[in-house]
């Protein structure tokens, strides 16, 4: 696993800063704050990223390099002859190249996905590319797609990368929707007013069934579920039925009873409708079972297409460290479902063996992943 976000330059730093209740959401330095609904976002420090040309390329390579190092030397040895699938999850790709072309038409236009070829050249093995773009559920859908491809023996391993960067288009778009909090976002709080944006890249290297011995394995994807509630372009179904369906599919796929879920990583954007919907979905599936719930978005913002992979890495880190980090920004819980187990302080986790990560996106996309530190069930990859 690998990650870079506003909180830190690698997955350990990101998790530890989150666990300590820190936030990277602050005044932006690369953009004119007067143009947008808020001047707050979680930017990545350029000094942390691998050298390269485009910003999205630098973030992607940083996350990939950490994940490949984490996989261990045995994988590096076999990867040169293995069938490796590269699955990219993003909502906007490299829009900065398009923006520069519009602003400076006299210059040679920059292809929006040119960074993918740069990534291909930088990897120590050959890959075949696929791109998944399902709004803010992109990363989770990419992991699910990769797992299905591995189960179908279409590849020996999959490198799944979620990445999105802050751009004028993204900041302007969310400002036009009036969906940004003018303060640091406050997930599940009574005073929440919207989300905070962030940028990040995260990578997970997944081996297929029976081939995980080539990895220095950190954990397993046990199950996944995707659903679409299809009620609105940007808002979720108020009753959470799409997310409920995704959770139920993931648990069934994983062959895991809900009582074994020891931690839930919520999507938790801080918007009025998402948090209310998510609370209803969790309550409906877990019947008020007291599972610790938290979200990272008050710490590093909503990273869009990167969120699914980044938060999968963070969920696995929580299971590994047996620590549930807090929901930063939560001071006065205020959703219809009184989920008093949405935590605002770091909490030690019991060893139940599995975690659940939830995602929702524009267009009604919903996704859920069941993760574990130990191989459980025939569908683990």
Question: What does the pLDDT look like over 233-244, one tens digit per residue?
Answer: 777 888 889 999
Q: What is the pLDDT of residue 379?
A: 45
**In the predicted structure, residue 207 carries a pLDDT above the cut 80:** yes
Per-residue pLDDT band for 381 (boundaries 50, 70, 90) equals low
Q: Rounded distance, CA 130 to CA 249, Å?
A: 24
At 1-43, the pLDDT tens digits run 999 999 999 999 999 999 999 999 999 999 988 889 999 999 9
Q: What is the pLDDT of residue 234?
A: 75
Q: Phi-psi category of 197—alpha, beta or left, where left has phi over 0 and alpha has psi -120 to 50?
A: beta
Average pLDDT for residues 54-72, to the nearest whole number? 93
| Dihedral (Cα; 262, 271, 34, 303), 10-degree rounding | 30
At 301-320, the pLDDT tens digits run 999 999 999 999 999 999 99
Cβ(366)–Cβ(226) under 8 Å?
A: yes
Query: Own/partner pairs for 211-214, CB < 8 Å, 24+ apart?
Result: 211/156, 211/157, 212/375, 212/381, 214/74, 214/75, 214/78, 214/82, 214/157
Superfamily (CATH H level) for 2-372: Thiolase/Chalcone synthase (3.40.47.10)
Q: Rounded distance, CA 103 to CA 86, Å?
A: 32
At 253-298, the pLDDT tens digits run 999 999 999 999 999 999 999 999 999 999 999 987 889 999 999 9
Query: Strand pairing partners for 89?
Result: 132, 162
**In the predicted structure, residue 374 carries a pLDDT above the cut 80:** no
Average pLDDT for residues 329-338, to the nearest whole number? 85
Cα 366 from chain centre: 13
Q: What is the pLDDT of residue 3?
A: 98
At 81-97, the pLDDT tens digits run 889 999 999 998 878 76
Q: Are strands 354-361 and 365-372 parallel, antiparallel or unpaired?
A: antiparallel
Query: Own/partner pairs for 122-128, CB < 8 Å, 24+ apart?
Result: 122/61, 122/64, 123/64, 123/86, 123/159, 124/68, 124/76, 124/79, 124/80, 125/79, 125/80, 125/82, 125/84, 126/84, 127/84, 127/85, 127/86, 127/159, 128/83, 128/84, 128/85, 128/86, 128/155
Cβ(370)–Cβ(140) under 8 Å?
A: no
At 193-202, the pLDDT tens digits run 999 999 999 9
Nearest to 17 by CA among 5, 29, 28, 27: 5
Cβ(327)–Cβ(294) under 8 Å?
A: yes
Q: What is the pLDDT of residue 351?
A: 75
Residues with catalytic roles: 136, 267, 302
Q: Report the mean per-residue pLDDT for the chain.
A: 90
């Amino acid at each position: 696993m690998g990650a870079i976000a506003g909180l830190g330059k690698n997955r350990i730093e990101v998790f530890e800063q989150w666990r300590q209740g820190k936030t990277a959401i602050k005044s932006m330095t690369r953009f004119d704050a007067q143009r947008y609904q808020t001047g707050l976002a979680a930017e990545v420090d350029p000094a942390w990223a691998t050298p390269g040309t485009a910003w999205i390329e630098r973030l992607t390579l940083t996350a990939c390099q950490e994940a490949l190092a984490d996989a261990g030397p045995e994988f590096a040895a076999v990867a040169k002859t293995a069938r490796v699938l590269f699955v990219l999850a993003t909502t906007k790709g490299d829009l900065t190249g398009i923006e520069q072309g519009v602003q400076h038409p006299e210059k040679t236009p920059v292809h929006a996905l040119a960074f993918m070829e740069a990534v291909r050249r930088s990897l120590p093995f050959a890959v075949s590319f696929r791109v998944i773009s399902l709004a803010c559920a992109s990363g989770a859908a990419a992991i699910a797609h990769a797992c299905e491809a591995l189960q179908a023996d279409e590849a020996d391993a999959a490198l799944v990368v979620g990445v999105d960067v802050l751009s004028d288009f993204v900041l302007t778009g969310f400002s036009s929707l009036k969906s940004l909090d003018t303060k640091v976002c406050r997930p599940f709080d009574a005073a929440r007013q919207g989300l905070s944006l962030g940028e990040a890249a995260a990578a997970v290297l997944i081996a297929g069934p029976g081939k995980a011995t080539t990895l220095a394995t950190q954990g397993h994807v046990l199950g996944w579920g995707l659903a679409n509630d299809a009620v609105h372009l940007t808002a979720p179904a108020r009753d959470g039925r799409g997310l409920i369906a995704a959770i139920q599919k993931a648990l069934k796929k994983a062959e895991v009873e809900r009582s074994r879920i020891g931690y839930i990583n919520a999507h938790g954007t801080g918007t009025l409708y998402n948090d209310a919907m998510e609370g209803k979905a969790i309550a409906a599936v877990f019947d008020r079972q007291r599972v610790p719930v938290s979200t990272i978005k008050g710490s590093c913002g909503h990273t869009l297409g990167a969120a699914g992979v980044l938060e999968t890495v963070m969920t696995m880190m929580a299971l590994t460290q047996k620590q549930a980090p807090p929901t930063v920004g939560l001071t006065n819980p205020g959703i219809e479902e009184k989920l008093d187990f949405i935590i605002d302080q770091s909490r030690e986790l019991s060893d139940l063996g599995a975690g659940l990560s939830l995602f929702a996106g524009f267009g009604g996309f919903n996704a859920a992943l069941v993760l574990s530190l130990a191989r459980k069930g025939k569908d683990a990859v």
